[in-house]
Chains A and B, each alone.
Chain A
Amino acid sequence: MRDKGLEFGVGLFVLLGLAAIVYLTVKLGTGSFVAADTYPLEARFANTGGLNKGSTVMLGGVTIGRVEGIRLDAKDYSAIVDMSIMSEVQLPADTMASIRTSGLIGDKFVALSPGAEESVLRPSERITMTESAVELESLISKMAFGSVKEGAEPQADGAQGSTNPAP
């Protein structure tokens, strides 16, 4: 009767609400349900400090992809960032990737700047021209401890044979 109809309506409303929450979580989280056509690219950084899975990849301020994962290259301890880039964006082979911060302490993202090469990066190729995250802390510590003033005799600590003073 009337009560049954009301209960059914409330149930439906709750279910709709739950569906909306799930949809939003996925949308706002790592990405979209139906991924646009993308291709994978890699970039090697010395330091990805603060970059996450799901971080955006931008070119000229426009989002053209996102970070799919970050892993460590066990051989030389560098970080390899896997990205997916929208298929319609073809990048020249000398494209540079930098890790930038939005604002002073905001989120990290990968900024690409295209070069002038005729050949383009093919899927799964690796960008080797990169700039790692600049750490504010290390810059501060350099300011604080960095420079020993001139006059002090330069001394190489821990240089093992490969030091190469000019003749």
Chain B
Amino acid sequence: MPLPALADADAEATLRGAMDEAVAVANHSQGGRAMADKLQPILERSVSFEAMTRRAIGPGWREFSPAQQEEATKLFTKLIIRSYSNKFTPGEKPEVNYLKSVSQGPGKIEIPTTMLYKGSRYSIVYRMENRGKWLVTDIVAEGVSLIANYRAQFDGLFKKGGVDAVMRSLKDSVAAAP
């Protein structure tokens, strides 16, 4: 374990930077899709949407052709950013309190945070992995993992209707997201 403390600080700095930047951008936008589009390039620098998509789709991922994998990643990225930015009102500043990070073995870390937003307190854990640089690979909000939530749904769809069902559902969800 080379300098674990340093690596931990690195991951936390990445997360803090990304959050601050995202909140700043979100606060200067109109909300809705415009905000989601503005946030995407920022988030893509600190979130591994590729890993998230692969894991959210689960075992079915291997049946996807490379082109389908790419398209699924694009759609899933849009879906996550849209559905989360939808919960954010421009002007409302979340207060984030970073708690002590927990190492999960080489190149893996969990950063628990509490977030105070609009008067409610939420516990949110960010799971990060070192893939050349630290990237967020999962978000656990109030004990519920984003990846697990989507995996349960996509896996069910995949078993019923294969790749096509998953792609169709992704397209529909992106179109339906505000």
**A contact residues vs B (CB 8 Å cutoff):** 44, 46-47, 76, 78, 92, 94, 96, 98, 113-117, 126, 128-134, 146-152, 154-156, 159, 162-167
Q: When A148-B120, A150-B119, A163-B97 are in contact, do A126 and B58 touch as well, CB less than 8 Å?
A: no
B21 to chain A, nearest CB (A): 9
B54 touches A116 (CB 8 A): yes
When C-beta atoms are compared, the residue in chain A nearest to B25 turns out to be: A166
B145 touches A131 (CB 8 A): yes
Q: For chains A and B in complex, what number of residue pairs have CB atoms within 8 angstroms? A: 103
Interface string of B141-159 (1 = CB under 8 A from A): 0011101100110010000
When C-beta atoms are compared, the residue in chain B nearest to A76 turns out to be: B102
Q: When A128-B104, A154-B117, A164-B19 are in contact, do A134 and B57 touch as well, CB less than 8 Å?
A: no
The 22 listed contacts between A and B (C-beta, < 8 Å) are: A44-B104, A47-B143, A96-B148, A113-B155, A115-B151, A126-B105, A128-B104, A128-B127, A129-B55, A131-B140, A131-B145, A132-B143, A149-B119, A151-B119, A152-B119, A154-B119, A156-B95, A159-B95, A164-B16, A164-B19, A166-B24, A166-B94
When C-beta atoms are compared, the residue in chain B nearest to A128 turns out to be: B104
Interface residue B116 (Cβ < 8 Å from any Cβ of A): yes
* B97 CB contacts on chain A under 8 angstroms: 156, 159, 162-164
* B138 CB contacts on chain A under 8 angstroms: 129
B55 touches A94 (CB 8 A): yes
B118 touches A150 (CB 8 A): yes
Please classify the interface of chain A as helix (H, G, I), strand (E, B), loop, or mixed, using the class held by over half of its residues: loop
Interface residue B4 (Cβ < 8 Å from any Cβ of A): no
A156 to B143 CA separation, bound complex (whole angstroms): 21
Interface residue B165 (Cβ < 8 Å from any Cβ of A): no
Chain B count of residues within 8 A CB distance of the other chain = 41
* A46 CB contacts on chain B under 8 angstroms: 143
A89 to chain B, nearest CB (A): 13
Interface residue B168 (Cβ < 8 Å from any Cβ of A): no
Interface residue B178 (Cβ < 8 Å from any Cβ of A): no
* B82 CB contacts on chain A under 8 angstroms: none
Rank and list the top 6 A-B pairs by shortest CB-CB distance, nearest first: A116-B61, A166-B23, A148-B119, A128-B104, A152-B119, A147-B120
A114 touches B98 (CB 8 A): no
Interface residue B78 (Cβ < 8 Å from any Cβ of A): no
When C-beta atoms are compared, the residue in chain A nearest to B110 turns out to be: A128
* B57 CB contacts on chain A under 8 angstroms: 116
Q: When A96-B151, A116-B58, A131-B144 are in contact, do A163 and B119 touch as well, CB less than 8 Å?
A: no
Q: Which of B54, B105, B148 has the most CB of A within 10 A?
A: B148
Taking A114-B58, A126-B105, A133-B143 as known contacts, 12 extra A-B pairs with beta carbons closer than 8 A to each other, sorted by chain A number, are A94-B54, A94-B55, A98-B148, A116-B62, A128-B104, A128-B105, A129-B127, A129-B145, A129-B148, A154-B93, A165-B93, A165-B95
* A44 CB contacts on chain B under 8 angstroms: 104
Interface residue B27 (Cβ < 8 Å from any Cβ of A): yes
A164 touches B98 (CB 8 A): yes
B134 to chain A, nearest CB (A): 15
Interface residue B20 (Cβ < 8 Å from any Cβ of A): yes
Interface string of B71-103 (1 = CB under 8 A from A): 000000000000000000000011111100010
